[in-house]
Amino acid sequence: MNSTAFNLTSKVAVITGGASGIGLAIAKRFAAHGAAIEILDLQQAALDAAVNELRAAGHSAHGESCDVSEPASVNTAFERILTRHERLHILVNNAGIAHVGNALNTTPEDFARVQRVNVNGVAHCTQAALRHMTAKGGGVILNLASTVAQMAIWDRFAYATSKGAVLAMTYSIAKDFLDHGIRCNAIMPGRIHTPFVDGFIAKNYPGREEEMFEKLSKTQPIGRMGEPDEVATAALFLCSDEASFITGAAYPVDGGTLTLR
């Protein structure tokens, strides 16, 4: 039975990069509150596993293999989604990639690759959703930005640039489509414990995994990394009717990193 609060029953939610990590946590949370889930992801095996897991739990779920950096791939995915549903109510732009490097040692190719996924990907999916939402009475768009959109950390030149753009896009979309009944907000996660973090530590600090995990955890004032479910909880609120008076906002889910470090 769905909770009365934050009820997403009869709503359709598209979640990009929803096959793992934060995206999968959001998909599970939305599904538990009644939403029909549509996952866009490039990793087919993970996509199939996520959809099967949601269906096994009794939820409505489908997946589309999609490269968000390619407009044609995005448009095809949204067209297929709209053959299954009359309405698209929620878009969560979660898909993204990371990169380690500063302004001197980041290659032009790596810089462009990060922007293609993290910036162009958000734009492509947002445009596809807006074409539908503006014609069907509105909707909600939630973008996953990052604390690095508002603060500096070492060696995140390309990534920070991309997340700053995502935050700016959030404000622009919220302003331009206010009269269409469309809300657009952003979440700015701090360091969240996902498989990506474990892989990053294993690759860059072999043999020092436990030490580096503890060190990275303690860089946040609250003394630990966040969990994907904690980001999903914030996402559920911002995409629900309980947040109907909130648009053009950026919410930190960061253990105090932006304000207390």
pLDDT, position 204:
83
**Does one domain contain both 53 and 149?**
yes
What is the Cα–Cα distance from 133 to 63, expressed in whole angstroms?
20
pLDDT digits (tens, 9 = 90+) for 20-29: 999 999 999 9
**Which burial class, exposed, middle or buried, applies to 66 when counting CB atoms under 10 A from its CB (0-12, 13-18, 19+)?**
buried
Q: What is the overall mean pLDDT for the chain? A: 96
Name every residue whose Cβ is closer than 8 Å to that of residue 59 and which is 6 or more positions away in sequence: 31, 32, 37
What is the Cα–Cα distance from 166 to 147, expressed in whole angstroms?
12
pLDDT bucket at 2, cuts 50 / 70 / 90 = very low
Greater confidence, 27 or 2?
27
Task: Give mean pLDDT, residues 95-120.
Answer: 97
pLDDT surpasses 80 at 1 = no
Number of domains in the chain: 2
**Does one domain contain both 79 and 173?**
yes
The answer to whether residue 76 is domain-embedded is yes
119 with 166: CB under 8 angstroms?
yes
Active site annotation includes 159: yes
Q: Residue 157: give the domain boundaries.
A: 12-190+228-255
pTM of the prediction? 0.96
pLDDT, position 3:
52
**Does one domain contain both 141 and 207?**
no
Q: How remote is the C-alpha of 36 from its chain's centroid? A: 17
Task: Give mean pLDDT, residues 23-37.
Answer: 98
pLDDT surpasses 50 at 177 = yes
Task: Give mean pLDDT, residues 202-227.
Answer: 94
**Does one domain contain both 173 and 81?**
yes
**Does one domain contain both 44 and 74?**
yes
- CATH code at 66? 3.40.50.720
Task: Give mean pLDDT, residues 17-44.
Answer: 98
**Does one domain contain both 212 and 98?**
no
152 with 123: CB under 8 angstroms?
no
**β-sheet bridge partners, residue 185:** 142
pLDDT, position 200:
84
Closest CA to 145 of 116, 170, 114: 170
**Does one domain contain both 210 and 146?**
no
pLDDT, position 194:
93
Least confident window among 7-11, 162-166, 200-204, 220-224: 200-204
**Does one domain contain both 25 and 142?**
yes
**Does one domain contain both 74 and 172?**
yes
**Does one domain contain both 78 and 101?**
yes
Q: How far apart are the first and last CA of the chain?
A: 41
pLDDT digits (tens, 9 = 90+) for 49-72: 999 999 999 999 999 999 999 999
